[in-house]
Every structure is written in structure tokens, then in C-alpha cells.
Amino acid sequence: MKQNRTHKQNQYERAKLIRERFVHPEFNVFKDPADDEKVREDNVKADVIKEDANKKNASNWMGVFFKKNMFFIAFFVLYSLIAIYYLAFSSPRFISESQFVVKESGSQSSVSGLSIFAGFGSGTNDALLVKAYISSRNLALKLDSEVGLRAHYQNENIDFFSKLPIDSTIEQYYEYYKKHILISHDEVSGILTVEVQAFDPEYAKLVADKIIDLSEVFINNIGDKMFKEQVEYAREEVVRAHGLLSEWQTKLIVFQETNKLLSPQEEGGGIVTGINELQISIIKQKAKLKELQAVMHDNTTEVLAQKNLLSALNRQLEEEKKKVTDSDNNGLNRLTVEYQELSMSVEMTSDLYRSALVSLDSVRSQAVQKLKHLLIVENPSVTDEPKYPNKLHKLVTWLLILILIFGLISLLVAIIREHKE
């Protein structure tokens, strides 16, 4: 309505100007100069009014245009700012990727393609432990202390939206770390893939190498305490068995020195042999005595000598038997039993000592075989081109997000207007 009124006013002023110019007697020599002055003033006023009207029309047109296209203009400005940031100001991020598997020293040294895809059994659990360690806060702090990872991410040359704030807390640094140190685990092959993102390619490789070194130390320390306890226990058993063996050996030596016997069994065997020989000799001498008594009187010298010989042999036989079956502590039978007990104790402790030594060697061997290390499939490398941010992907993603947001806003505005009407 306002535009119609302005248009009618413009037409009225234009008609008035035409009447004043063409109806006025141009060639009247008696015209008044004051009339000419009035005409000029009217013409000036008409021009001013016309210019104001044109300005108002232009202003009204711009206002109507912005009002009708407000959402489109806001969308265009916002998306343009995002595009300018990614295309001109975003800091490039380089990656260094490495791949490895966790392997025990006792397993085969070579890894073929079939063995990789067959998995490593217990190595899967070790791989998951390494994955959790790389994603942990402890490694993030250790990397900061050893290679200055936090300071690198806070470099002033990095753009505002990409860098870690200077006054960031440990929690903020840890969250930033998890977004820039990515790790994945292939359950089929057991391969761990670590991707390190940094704003310098050489530094990305340095961090990737340090992660591999620290992960290998970590996986070795997992069973280190258990193996140390096993080795210590086996060593204590060896010391205890050696102490028992030394104790019983000392007792055996004391026994031998006290009784002047190297081996009661051997000496007893000699005594028994002597007793048997004496008994045989007595039998022979008795037969000879009977032979003499058959041809001689008992009072003859030969018979008496033979009787004396038999008497001496019997006394010697009794003495030898007494050595074996004496009821006091010096009886050979008692000495033999005591010696056998000492010998058996020495033999048992000797076997125990040998078994403890074998156990210690076995534990040490198992500890070496259970020692784990990382088998590198792909070493960290330096890349020539940045991988992040993926500008095309980011621009398309933001475009879809803005379309969705502005579409929802437009829908809500339309619903609100409809309810107001």
C-alpha cells in the first residue's frame, strides 16, 4: 500500500511539472520574472521529491529482499566462513602409521601369512593389553615427559581450532591425545595398527617409535614380577636343599670318624666272611681231631694240640660273632642301621638338591621363553603430504549439517507463524 501511495504521488508531481512548463506562455514578452523564479523553485522541489522517492523505493526493496532471504544469506555467510577456514587457515596434520603383533620368544621366529591369519592364541590377550596401554592416561603422560607431546600440540603456529589450549588441564590433554593417537586391533590376525597424528611429519614418526618402545617394555613387565617370584622361590629351594644335604653329609662324616668306620656294611661283610671261614676251619679241625682220637689216646700230644686249636678257633668265632651282635652301642648291627639311615638321608637330600637345581633351570628357561616382544609388520614412516583435515570431506559434511539445521529452523518458524495466524 505504501508503494502505491508513493507511486501516485510521483505521478501527480510529474503532471504538475508538465503543466507548469508547457502551459506557461514561453514567448510572452510581458511575462513576470518572479514567475520564472517560482517555476525554477518548483522544479528543484520536484527533483528533490523524486530523488527521495527513488531512495525510499530502493531501501524498501533491499529490506524486503533481506527479510525474504534471511535464512539463505545466513546459511551462505556461515558456510563461507567455514570454507575459508578449512581452505586457508586450518593447520595440516601428518600421520605416522605402524603395525605390529605381540609375540613370545619361545614361539617360532618367522611369521608366514597363514600363521598371521590363524591368530596367536594367548597373544590376542596380550595385544588387547597393549591396545589398552596405548590408549591409557599413563602413556599420554609418559610421552609428554619424554618427547614433549603436550607442548607440540600447544604450538603457537597451529590454528586456534586445531591446537590444544595453553591452559589446558590434564583431562583436556588426555581427551585431545585420544583423538590424535588412534589404535585398532584386527581380531583375525592379531595385528595392532597405531596412527599418530602430529603437525610435523618427523615428530609424528618420533612419537610412533617411542610408543613401540614403551609398549614393548610394558608387555615385558606384565609377567616380570611373576617370573621373578618363581625364580626366587626356586632359588630358595636350592639353598634349602643344599643346606639339608650339607647337614646330613656332616653327620655321616662325624659318624665315620667317631666309629673309625668308612662303611659298616663293608666291614660287616668282612666279619661275616671271617666267621664263615672260622666255622669251616672248625669243622675241618673237628674232623681231624676225630681222626686222631681214632688212633691215639686223648692224652697224647697230638690230640691235646688239636683240642687246643679247636678251643682257640671257637673263642675267635665267639669274638667275631660278638662284634656283629653285641647288645651295646658299638654293635656292628646297630652301627650298620645308623649308617644306612645316614646314607639314605644323604642320598635323599642329594636327590632333592638335584631336583631343585633342575627346577631352577626350568623356571629360568620358561622365563626366557615367555619373554614377549613386538614383531613389527610395518615400521613408522615419514609422510610427505598431510592426511588431515580432509578438506573435501569436511566441507561436504558441514554443508549437510547446515542444510539440516537451517531446514529444521525454517520448519519451526513456519509452524510458529501458522499458529499465530
What Å distances lie between residue 377 and 119, 133, 182, 212, 387, CA to CA? 14, 19, 17, 12, 21
Report which of 358, 387, 384 is spatially closest to residue 241, judged by C-alpha positions: 358
Mean pLDDT to the nearest integer, 97-117: 63
Position 63 pLDDT exceeds 60: no
171 or 126, higher pLDDT? 171
Mean pLDDT to the nearest integer, 123-135: 87
The residue behind cell 594367548 is 122
pLDDT of residue 75: 84
Q: Residue 196, SS3?
A: strand
pLDDT band at 264 (very low <50, low <70, confident <90, very high): low
| Cβ-based burial of 13 (10 A; exposed 0-12, middle 13-18, buried ≥19) | middle
Mean pLDDT to the nearest integer, 204-223: 90
Position 267 pLDDT exceeds 80: no
CA dist 214 and 145 (Å) reads 13
Position 297 pLDDT exceeds 50: yes
Cα 340 → chain centroid: 59
Position 23 pLDDT exceeds 60: no
The set of cell numbers assigned to 5 is: 501511495
pLDDT of residue 18: 55
Cα dihedral across residues 39, 45, 47, 53: positive or negative: negative
pLDDT band at 104 (very low <50, low <70, confident <90, very high): confident
What Å distances lie between residue 24 and 13, 37, 44, 177, 225, CA to CA? 16, 13, 17, 89, 119
Mean pLDDT to the nearest integer, 195-206: 94
pLDDT of residue 202: 94
Q: Which of 19-28, 88-97, 278-287 is most confident?
A: 88-97
Cα dihedral across residues 280, 283, 285, 288: positive or negative: negative
Describe the chain by its helix, strand, coil percentages, rounded to 5.
Answer: 75, 10, 20
Position 51 pLDDT exceeds 90: no
Mean pLDDT to the nearest integer, 301-318: 76
Torsion of CA 102, 105, 110, 116, to 10 degrees: -30
Position 290 pLDDT exceeds 90: no
pLDDT band at 332 (very low <50, low <70, confident <90, very high): low
Contact assessment for residue 92 and residue 388, using Cβ atoms and an 8 Å cutoff: yes
Position 391 pLDDT exceeds 90: no
Position 327 pLDDT exceeds 60: no
Mean pLDDT to the nearest integer, 401-417: 85
Give Cβ neighbours of residue 294 (< 8 Å, ≥ 6 apart). none
Per this entry, what is the length of the chain? 421
The set of cell numbers assigned to 421 is: 495466524
Average pLDDT, the chain: 77
Cα 250 → chain centroid: 53
pLDDT band at 2 (very low <50, low <70, confident <90, very high): very low
pLDDT of residue 232: 86
Cα 19 → chain centroid: 98
Mean pLDDT to the nearest integer, 269-287: 71
pLDDT of residue 331: 60
Mean pLDDT to the nearest integer, 374-397: 89
The set of cell numbers assigned to 158 is: 597451529
pLDDT of residue 421: 62
Bridge partner residues of 93 (DSSP): 388
Phi, psi of 26 (to 5 degrees): -65, -35
The tally of CA atoms less than 13 A away on the side-chain side of residue 253 is 6
315 or 247, higher pLDDT? 247
pLDDT of residue 97: 93
Q: Which of 66-80, 189-203, 251-265 is most confident?
A: 189-203
pLDDT of residue 116: 42
Residue 73: how many other CB atoms lie within 10 Å: 12
Mean pLDDT to the nearest integer, 39-47: 59
pLDDT of residue 107: 55
pLDDT of residue 10: 59
CA dist 386 and 94 (Å) reads 4
